[in-house]
Structure 1
Amino acid sequence: MTASSSALSAPRRALAAAALAALLGLGPAGAAAQAGDGQDPEARGLADLVRDIQRIKDENRELRGEIETLERQLQQLQRRQREHYKDLDSRLQELRAQGAAPEGGAASGGEQAAGQQAGEIPIPELSAAEGGGDASPEQASEQALYERAFGQLNAGDYAQARAGLERLLERYPEGEYADNARYWIAETYYAESRLDEAAEHFQRVLEASPDSGKAPDAQLKLGYIAFKRGELETARQRLERVREQYPESTAAGLAEERLTQLRQTRENE
């Protein structure tokens, strides 16, 4: 064997050793041992490459663990949102069935206490991150109107809540709470079983703010209304639209549940 061929074989041996170490999952120490004396620059480069590959594998493994944790947290959050939405819907229906909503005037102290005992309806719009913190005087005025109307809605005083929300829209048609005000006006009609007015106002939510956070809920309630009316095909189309257009929303999960009820209803016909 000549000197030149011997010199050429060293890098090849180092390359083979590094490749073998990578395939066998050896750590950096194993790669260096396989590379021989480690003095050859090419061998050292290959050993560094093996170390980089191992480091990347370790980082990917950690990232996968973090992603799985975030996915679990997201699923828990969606489940809690779904439970909040169901609770709100059921409480509005209970108040309607019990006749707890007065035709006018402020809610009685007993009704307010009952509303507090049932638990406050969450108002995420009032968080500091979304404008409920250091508000300007104009925002504070709009926020005050919204809070007052929402408190009346929570107490079952739908007529007063609706009047307050309409007043808010008159003053701040493009305000921070305009989308929510339109939606809750529709909800007051829905809670009173005034389905024609409710459907009209839920449709307004979709037309005025198709990309707002309340759009999935408005589309869902239009499906509910069609279901209540016995318009099963229209209900199916509405509910499937929620599932297709807003697949990651809480409303999508509720739409799927109502679609299951719809299928059962059709099977029993």
Structure 2
Amino acid sequence: MRAWRAAVGAMFFALLAGCGSNDLVVKKQMEMEAKLEQLAQANASANTRLTTLTTEVKELQNRLTATAADMDAMKPGMAELKASIESIDAMVTDLNRPKTSKIEVVNREAAAAEGNPAHQDAYVKAFGLFSANNYNAAIDAFEAFMKAYPDSEYVGNAMYWVGECYYTQHNYNEALEAFSKVTTTFPNGNKVPDAMLKIGYTLMGMNEPAKAKESLQALVEKYPKSQAAAKAREKLVRLSK
């Protein structure tokens, strides 16, 4: 009897021990499943973040590509704007010269043409139209002046201002032709250095930097002491950078 009770007791404790062991296994399994779930969630979150980052990188690359394209598209306009600014600067400098301002030019011509009021009036009228930014009318007036008074010492000046009218309107082909005529048809005129300078500027506006440099260098060599040559040197330095 005592032996039977001892056997039953042993079985009972064995069962208890087995139950405790099963509970521990179940607990460990649950903990493992929880960790696996956490890892799965973390992995899903990482994948989502990676996808988001990949999308953001692609968008950034697209923006950079678009920005680069925009900059390339802007280059011709920027070159044209820069040439226009330099043209305005050249005109302002010319106007502010003590001995070569518009008023003094007109006055000198008036003194030289005292015996011919029509000669004076024609040039003054053309110059007034240019000063008023009425460039098309100024071109017609200067050309009429050159046709009516081909022997005037200011015919070369008139041709130069025709070139300025075209240049200001970004009509570079016509401007180049007019400035070139100043240097070839009136080689001894006082506007030749300025015309050579504007030929260089015009060629820059036409995206021909090599020819522009050649023209500016020729100006520096032929008229080294002129104000136009000083501007040409500054431009050549900038073009060399």
TM-score range, shorter chain: 0.5 to 0.7
Q: 1:180: which partner in 2?
A: 157
Q: Specify the alignment match of 2:179 in structure 1.
A: 202
The amino acid that maps onto 1:198 is A
| Cα distance, 1:192–1:126 mapped onto 2, change above 3 Å | same
**Which residue of 119, 130, 135 maps to 2:113?**
135
Which runs of structure 2 are paired with 1:71-220 in the superposition (5 Å)?
86=89, 88=91, 122-127=102-107, 130-133=108-111, 135-138=113-116, 140-220=117-197
Query: C-alpha distance in 1, partners of 2:112/2:192?
Result: 27
Structure 1, unaligned runs of 5 or more? 1-83, 92-120, 265-269
TM-score, scaled to structure 2? 0.57
Q: Secondary structure at the match of 1:179?
A: helix
**How many Å separate the matches in 1 of 2:192 and 2:112?**
27
**CA RMSD of superposed structures (Å):** 2.5
Is contact 2:113–2:119 with CA below 8 Å preserved after alignment? no
Name stretches of at least 5 consecutive residues in structure 2 with no aligned partner.
1-86, 95-100
Q: Name the structure with the higher helix share.
A: 2
Q: Percent identity?
A: 33
With over 3 angstroms needed to count, the CA separation of the structure-2 counterparts of 1:261 and 1:218, relative to structure 1, is same
Pick from 218, 222, 242: which aligns with 2:219? 242
Q: TM-score, normalised by structure 1?
A: 0.51
| Count of aligned positions | 150
Per-residue CA deviation, residues 219-269 of structure 1 (Å, 9 max, x unaligned), is 1111111122221211111001111101111100110111122112xxxxx
Cα 1:135–1:196, aligned 2, differ >3 Å: closer, same or farther? closer
In structure 2, what is the Cα distance between the partners aligned to 1:188 and 1:137?
A: 29
- The whole-number CA distance in structure 1 between the counterparts of 2:113 and 2:202 is 37
Contact 1:142–1:177 (CA under 8 A) maintained in structure 2: no
Alignment match, 2:27: none
Letter paired with 2:89: K
Q: Is the 8 A contact 1:236 1:259 kept in 2?
A: yes
| Aligned residue type for 2:197 | L
**Per-residue CA shift, 1:57-108, capped at 9, x if unaligned?**
xxxxxxxxxxxxxxxxxxxxxxxxxxx98362699xxxxxxxxxxxxxxxxx
Q: Which runs of 4+ in 1 moved over 6 A?
A: none
- Show the counterpart of 1:24: none
Aligned position for 1:225: 202
Larger-gyration structure (1/2):
2
CA distance in 2 between partners of 1:255 and 1:263 (Å): 12
> Is the 1:143–1:177 contact (alpha carbons within 8 Å) kept by the matching residues of 2?
no
- Residue 136 of structure 1 aligns to a residue whose secondary structure is coil
Asked whether the equivalents of residues 197 and 232 of structure 2 are also in contact (C-alpha less than 8 Å), the reply is: yes
Letter in 1 for 2:104: P
Identify if the C-alpha distance between structure 1 residues 134 and 247 changes in structure 2 by more than 3 Å, giving closer, same or farther: closer
Q: Does the CA-based 8 Å contact 1:180-1:214 persist in structure 2?
A: yes
Asked whether the equivalents of residues 165 and 182 of structure 1 are also in contact (C-alpha less than 8 Å), the reply is: yes
C-alpha separation in 2, matches of 1:173 and 1:135: 14
Distance in 2, matches of 1:250 and 1:85, equals: 15
Query: SS where residue 133 of structure 1 aligns?
Result: helix
Residues 122 and 231 (structure 1), Cα distance of their counterparts in 2 relative to 1, 3 Å cut: same
Shift of 1:131: 4.2
